[in-house]
Structure 1
Amino acid sequence: MDVVKRKPYFKIMFFILIVLNLYVEVNTLSYSSTQVKPMVTLEEKIWIAGDGDVSHYRIPLLTYTPQKNLLAMAEARKYDTSDAGSKFLAIRRSNDKGYSWKPQQFIENDGSIFDGISLGSVVVDDELGNIFIVFSRCNHYEKCNISSLYYVKSEDDGYTWNKPVNMSVQIGTKAFAAGPGYGIQLKNSKYKGRLLVCGHGTLEGDGMFCLISDDHGNKWRYGGMLKSIPYNKPKVSGDFIPDECQPLEMPDGTVIVNIRNQGKYHCHCRIIAKSADGGDTFLLDDVYFDENLIDPTVAAGALIQNGVMFFSNPMSTTHRVNMTLHWSHDFGKTWNYTLNIWPNPSGYSTMTAIPGLEDSVYILYEKGIVATYESLSFVKISLYP
């Protein structure tokens, strides 16, 4: 009799548990997409000018790794702040989500070559678990006349790196400066698995150009581009000059590229280009200017996390100051939210997030008191209160 009496009770409890579980799932999804309230919960300077007998550190790159760790990369400029000077490719690692960092390693050294290493993009192949760092040499044509593009690859979560591979054998020697930022592996379209790295050219032959690999980085080719106007001609202020850039993949598989507006054409703001074919083409009809993202011409960070689009840059029309995080709930149609990270000199920035850990995004940016190149600072942004 006791068993018979308890059956309805168990059925009712089981039904209640199902309802509660559905309620939690629905509210968790709503919470993730609409209740983002970013706040800085950690900041640390992980490179400071003069560290390791290096003059300055610039051009921050930041990525997650296949084993859910973090890697930070930078140009270690040996003697001064010059873009064209001799450099190391510096890298630091965090195995605890940015709370501590291993000592830096120099994984490339251009010796005393003038116009040496220029970073660059980092791209993770999630399908095979490999990491690529793309960099160039002689990108400024100062005291050298042949530009070349390389990558180094890690197959063990970034602990060791293979010897550099010269990509120019496949794509030619047109000057191509990747990023700076990260490349992407497409996941939401028929081009699933494709690696896409976007960058820019020289100032005269400038524009946004993308490289594509459909075989996990063994072969590369040029894909879509958005050339400057006038192309391969001397430039003046006000010309259309797409420059440093960050690609993103939208949930529907569309690729968008957030681009530095070097000539301040139309506005002191960002250029946005779109591709419906996995980065193979970018039509002029789909190019627009995001006037809400005011910008002093700089490399900026962009990221999509939990259905929210994020953007980081020095929020100013004229000076590299006021590092700010922006976010949008409609994938960049409107930007109604900002968080100030640093009000003083601040320059290039980049962003990443660790797949599966959806409560945070991470920024690495150039930070200073007097000048932007005094340090590279790592920031953890918690997304939910």
Structure 2
Amino acid sequence: MNRNALRILLLTVLCSFARNETLNPAIADEQLLWVGGQVGEVHTYRIPLLTFTTHGSLLAFAEARKLSFKDKGAKFIALRRSTDRGVTWSPTSFIVDDGALADGLNLGSVVVDEETGAVILIYSVCFHRYRCKPSSTMMVQSLDDGFTWSAPRNLNPQLGLMSFAPGPGFGIQKRHPPAVGRLVVCGHGSIIGDGVFCILSDDHGNTWRYGAELKSIPYNQRKNNLDFDPDECQPVELDDGSIMINVRNDKHYHCHCRMVARSLDGGESLPVEELVFDHTLEDPAVAAGALEKEGVLYFTNPANANNRVNLTLRWSLNRGKSWVKNTLKIWAGPSGYSCMTSLKGNQTEDHKYIYVIFEKGQKDYFESVSFVKIDLYSEQ
């Protein structure tokens, strides 16, 4: 090992030790953004997404399920905006309406193009192919910080007819080689031919193609308990340019814990040699949140092997190879899907906070959607 490499390694270790001493996440603020059953048009809000725009606005999205809490059925995509980092929020607006489809839309992934400022939202319609076909992968985008949205565009002419459900969570734009500037959105495929699949765009979302895939076993056959069935997922770019994808282990293959896949080529492939099972991240099979911020990897999920309860924040100082023993319990009760974001800015506040949106309830995890501001360096 040459001197420069050794110096970098020592600095990394020292920074990790310093960060471990100062990191002390605590909840700084919490607000309920949506509560089911309170608006006549909406029965249940689920599948929350959260992102910052390039102008610093905070956008929160959710599936607004019109008639029931079930995955199938007609829905809106609900949006609330905040221009003061989550202190106050706009009223709810519905930016997509699927009408009265028996198998309506499924939200989706949001990805922000740092070069153009576009906020791109990708979702599916007729994913389960229940009383409809074919399944469609759809895209809307905002070019004015989330105020207005384009008409939905069907990506099937580019991607084909495979059922593809993005996320849920956020997509990424590659910051480090390889493929700097590429948009990467990952999700899972059709019910029978399931697995993790990523779609890629090298022209700011104008065109999309399929890239990496991690197929289920047995493929194109009905799954049983303990089969290999990678499902909903959240990609994160690490500082070495690799893409780590934290994956729902839907049939509990090998463990009641998370799968972690990794792409070394900008989302083109997911080699099985890079697949691990993280036993620390026990999980009841659910969509979880992951976020990289300033060299620290954060993770949220209902930390329970069997039930959707106990939403917990964990953090890792070594790209997820191990996790700090301390954790932050965000909500001990029923809790479901979650998503995280942070602002990449130069203000002290931008370094100090991350933001979490999650499904929260007293009896059932899907009763409401809550927003939490977390102080990473609290003094309590």
Q: Please say whether Structure 1 and Structure 2 have the same fold, judged by a TM-score greater than 0.5.
A: yes
Q: Which has the larger radius of gyration?
A: 1
CA distance in 1, matches of 2:202, 2:49: 23
1:90·1:104 contact (CA, 8 Å) conserved in 2?
Answer: yes
CA distance in 2, matches of 1:95, 1:144: 39
SS at match of 1:358: helix
Give the Å deviation of 1:35.
1.9
SS at match of 1:325: strand
* Deviating 4+ runs (over 6 angstroms): 27-30
Query: Is 1:35 equivalent to 2:28 in the alignment?
Result: no
CA distance in 1, matches of 2:159, 2:191: 19
In the alignment, which residue of structure 1 is the partner of 2:184? 196
Query: Is 1:307 equivalent to 2:295 in the alignment?
Result: yes
CA distance in 1, matches of 2:119, 2:176: 20
1:33·1:306 contact (CA, 8 Å) conserved in 2?
Answer: no
User: What's the C-alpha RMSD, in Å, of the aligned pairs?
Assistant: 1.4
Question: Which aligned pairs between 1:257-272 and structure 2 lie closer than 5 A?
Answer: 257-272=245-260
SS at match of 1:170: helix
Q: Deviations over 1:256-312 (max 9, x none)?
A: 100000010000000011111000011111111011100000000000011110000
CA distance in 1, matches of 2:27, 2:268: 37
Instruction: Give the TM-score normalised by structure 1.
Output: 0.91
Query: Is 1:84 equivalent to 2:86 in the alignment?
Result: no
The one of 251, 257, 261 equivalent to 1:273 is: 261
1:325·1:338 contact (CA, 8 Å) conserved in 2?
Answer: yes
In the alignment, which residue of structure 1 is the partner of 2:195? 207
SS at match of 2:328: strand
Give the Å deviation of 1:33.
7.0
Unaligned runs of 5+ in 1: 1-26
Query: Is 1:340 equivalent to 2:329 in the alignment?
Result: yes
Query: Is 1:249 equivalent to 2:242 in the alignment?
Result: no
Q: 1:343 to 1:274 in 2, by over 3 A?
A: same
Query: Is 1:375 equivalent to 2:368 in the alignment?
Result: yes
The one of 93, 96, 108 equivalent to 2:81 is: 93
1:69·1:354 contact (CA, 8 Å) conserved in 2?
Answer: no
CA distance in 2, matches of 1:346, 1:375: 9
2:16·2:317 contact (CA, 8 Å) conserved in 1?
Answer: no
Q: 1:99 to 1:283 in 2, by over 3 A?
A: same
In the alignment, which residue of structure 1 is the partner of 2:272? 284
Give the Å deviation of 1:358.
1.5
Give the Å deviation of 1:51.
3.1
The one of 69, 74, 89 equivalent to 2:57 is: 69
Q: Deviations over 1:90-133 (max 9, x none)?
A: 00001111111100000111111111111000000001111101
Query: Is 1:362 equivalent to 2:355 in the alignment?
Result: yes
In the alignment, which residue of structure 2 is the partner of 1:138? 126
2:260·2:277 contact (CA, 8 Å) conserved in 1?
Answer: yes
Q: Deviations over 1:193-233 (max 9, x none)?
A: 00000000123111000000001101100000100000010
SS at match of 2:39: helix
Q: Deviations over 1:117-154 (max 9, x none)?
A: 11000000001111101011000111112100111011
Query: Is 1:182 equivalent to 2:170 in the alignment?
Result: yes
The one of 212, 220, 224 equivalent to 1:236 is: 224
Instruction: Decide which moves more: 316-325 or 140-149.
Output: 140-149
SS at match of 2:157: helix
Instruction: Give the TM-score normalised by structure 2.
Output: 0.92
CA distance in 1, matches of 2:36, 2:82: 20
Unaligned runs of 5+ in 2: 1-13
Identity %: 50
Residue type of the alignment partner of 1:154: S
